[in-house]
Amino acid sequence: MEHGLIVPPVYSPIPPAIHPRHKEIDDRTAAWAVQFGIGSEELRRKLVRHDIGTFAARILPEGREDVVSLLADFVLWLFGVDDGHCEEGDLGNDPSRLVAELSRLLRVAQNPDVPMLDPDPLAAGLRDLSRRMSRLGTPGQVARWVDALREYFMSVVWEASHRSHGTVPDLNDYTLMRLYDGATSVVMPLLEMGHGYELQSHERDDVTVRGVAEMAYFIITWDNDIFSHHKESRADQYYLNVLRVLEHHEGMSPEDALRTAVAQRDRVMCLYLRLCAQLEATGSPQLRRYLHSIGSFIRGAQDWGISSRRYTTPEDPADLPSTFSDTPTDDSTEALDIPAVAWWWSLLPRENREETLPHRRKSARKNPAAPRRRSSVRTA
């Protein structure tokens, strides 16, 4: 079989952490998947071996254990939808049927007592999740969870339309779609639930706070595209990630596409760090807690991405890194040439737009596809 891409260590200045009861959480999530019959028997066997409970334990390393378990069960449920309905099921090639099914599931999330999809395991699992959300969170947090679930459902239908026609969106459309079909925004209300507070709307809805959250979605999904490329490109089915987009529309080789994607996420990471520092200097204790949890989400996804069987695929090993870099390949303060997200750079105060990070070198290359020598730090 053709050798896959060698993924380099990616830039990660956020320290790793994990909940001390991650093993128990992972075991409970495996039992939950069996209890509700999430996915086909074959898919379920795969999912319970992917350390999804450990992933949730990395996202909320200091969180309430019942909320970490809720998050773990929800993430497994999302994979049941994404893998079972969208990527591997018939609905993934039929957007009109998929949108109808997801609309029914959304109604179950809104009101788990609605008599709809009663024999369906995904609906039964979602009923359980929705009731637990209401018990552990505030009405506002549950409402935001439902709204984020709607965004996720809408984006996976958009992706299904490309899958059904075998088309590849351009980079701008793909970026916008990927901000939501990575199911990142649906996690955000649980970051608050996990620590027993509710962020005030004037802070959560602040344009810079919203921008920082979107940057986290971008970093997490770009990392996922990079780490999952081996698995997806080996599968005998349609796949879509940023490397394929760059190869298809920019005519890049796989190696150049990988370097470009890494540089894009590095540049966003540098902006994310600058804006987080700016917000932490003036924000409330709750906002600082929220920003810290977003950082744990980013790092947790990275640690899980390079260690889970879902992406390492031991039967056909992916060449993933075991370390992370402490230096970005691109720390430019210029906006990425992606209109959907270029506005993020306007959030920097004008006097700070050329402010350098501690690691920045005067000779830094501006070419987002140009590699730089990396130094590595060991993961947890």
| pLDDT tens by residue, 153-186 | 999 999 999 999 999 999 999 999 999 999 999 9
By CB atoms closer than 10 A (0-12, 13-18, 19+), residue 282 is exposed
How many DSSP H helices and E strands does the chain contain?
15, 2
Q: In this structure, what token pair is assigned to residue 268? A: 């966003």
* Cα first-last separation, the chain: 32
What is the 3-state secondary structure of 269-306?
HHHHHHHHHHHHHHCCHHHHHHHHHHHHHHHHHHHHHC
**Residue 97 reports pLDDT greater than 50:** yes
CB-based contact 291:276 (threshold 8 Å): yes
Average pLDDT over residues 122-137: 98
Cα 172 to chain centroid distance, Å, stands at 18
CA 271 – CA 331 distance, rounded (Å): 8
CA 32 – CA 120 distance, rounded (Å): 15
pLDDT tens profile 2-11: 457 999 999 9
DSSP code per residue over 171-205: HHHHHHHHHHHT--GGGHHHHHHTTT----HHHHT
Using DSSP's 3-state secondary structure scheme, residue 319 falls into strand
Closest CA relative to residue 58, chosen from 29, 11, 13, 25: 25
Q: In this structure, what token pair is assigned to residue 72? A: 């773990």
pLDDT tens profile 142-156: 999 999 999 999 999
On average, the pLDDT of the chain sits at 91
CA 2 – CA 234 distance, rounded (Å): 10
What is the 3-state secondary structure of 101-126?
HHHHHHHHHHCCCCCCCCCCHHHHHH
Confidence of residue 85 (pLDDT cuts 50, 70, 90): confident
CA distances to 10, 182, 300, 347 from 189, in Å: 27, 16, 17, 23
CB-based contact 145:174 (threshold 8 Å): no
Confidence of residue 207 (pLDDT cuts 50, 70, 90): very high
pTM score, whole prediction: 0.91
